[in-house]
Structure 1
Amino acid sequence: MKLLAESTCKAIINAPLERIDLTEWLFSLKDSEYQACSSDHIVAGNSIADNGKRMSINVEQIAGNLLIQHYVEEVSQRDHCMVQSISDSITATGKTKLHIVWELKIKKLNNTTCEFSNHVAVNSTPDFINLLESLKITDYKLVTNEMLQNLVKHNTEETPLFAKNIEEKALKEIWL
């Protein structure tokens, strides 16, 4: 497994840390709320993985790449949520899989303000390497540079909108 691209974006949430629960936010995010956080977002839902852990299922299309993500919870804390997915990736050049790690964190800045961090890391899988080899692509930098640009653009769009959604729910005291 090789890291292909990663991006971290941050945004301010004007709500006390004690009113926020990132894990509950992620696993209760409504489809319409997910769609409102990026023009790339198509659908979101929740399920239970075979191992009994919660799963966030997201579908998005980034730069022509249709991604079907099956994020399984790995870290489930109020201020830190990490999920991982072996995601289906469908493009004009073929269907493959990517290993994606999505990590959300909150850091208290003062009694009424927090910093939200949205980190996404995209890793290769054997399927992905096989697809590149079948396409006679040997210069991975071309692929990873484009992937990085698309990831940063997407993360830059969704992070402040995720933060706003979290802030609205925190101020309504949803998680108290």
Structure 2
Amino acid sequence: MSNAVREDLVLSHAAITADVEAPFDRVDIAQWLKTLPTHEYQRCAPGDHKAAGYTVDDDGTPMSINIEMIGTGLVVQQYRFEVAEAHYCKMVSLSDILTPAGWTTTQVIWELRMEQLDGDHCRYTNTVTSHPTDAFLTFIAENGQTFSEAAEARQEASGRHCRVETPLYAQSIARWAAAR
């Protein structure tokens, strides 16, 4: 089966914002991600977030490893940093998903952005977009599910998850920045 990403198809998309008080000049999302302890990651989506870590890929690209539940799937994400800036990070993962029917893969793009609104009043935006792989499309077809059905289920689960984690991520980033 091919892990070729079908960028022409969107499995799910969520862009959620949360306002927070944070010293904007001390916010550094890239550093926060690289030093995010597992237990703090778990507090950002209680029950769903299982573990987080930081590593580098074979070519030296920084990576964030996240393990979480999205709906009924245990998702193992190996996010490669494509943009790693203080106020914006874009990370892309070819993620492994353990579903009740077995393993499959999707691509997940995670974007984290902090904007200064006024003084220390900031807005955090958490954007998560998922695209199926060819292997995912074969997997759902073999399990009697259409892409539309899979996308609807993933959109609901991912949307719920992002609504929980976004304000908690914003608060975690603000605490991290204030402690610097």
Q: Which TM-score band applies after superposition, normalised by the shorter structure?
A: over 0.9
How many positions carry a matched residue from both structures? 172
Moved more, 126-135 or 99-108: 126-135
Q: Could you tell me which residue of structure 1 aligns to residue 3 of structure 2?
A: none
Aligned Cα RMSD in Å?
1.0
* Identity percentage of aligned residues: 31
The answer to whether the 8 Å contact 1:109/1:115 transfers is yes
5 Å matches for 1:25-104?
25-38=32-45, 39-104=47-112
Displacement, 1:129?
Answer: 1.0
CA distance in 2, matches of 1:133, 1:63: 19
The answer to whether the 8 Å contact 1:80/1:103 transfers is yes
The answer to whether the 8 Å contact 1:70/1:86 transfers is yes
Displacement, 1:52?
Answer: 0.6
Matched AA of 2:11: L
CA distance in 2, matches of 1:123, 1:29: 26
Matched AA of 1:116: Y
Q: Could you tell me which residue of structure 2 aligns to residue 115 of structure 1?
A: 123
CA distance in 2, matches of 1:171, 1:45: 22
Matched AA of 1:29: L
User: What stretches of structure 1 of length at least 5 have no aligned partner?
Assistant: none
Q: Could you tell me which residue of structure 1 aligns to residue 175 of structure 2?
A: 168
Q: Taking structure 1 as the reference length, what is the TM-score of the superposition?
A: 0.94
CA distance in 2, matches of 1:147, 1:41: 17
Matched AA of 1:170: A
Q: Taking structure 2 as the reference length, what is the TM-score of the superposition?
A: 0.92
Displacement, 1:82?
Answer: 0.7
Stretches of 4+ moved more than 3 A in 1?
none
SS at 2:11 equivalent: strand
CA distance in 2, matches of 1:84, 1:62: 17
Matched AA of 1:12: D
The answer to whether the 8 Å contact 1:62/1:150 transfers is yes
User: What stretches of structure 2 of length at least 5 have no aligned partner?
Assistant: 1-5
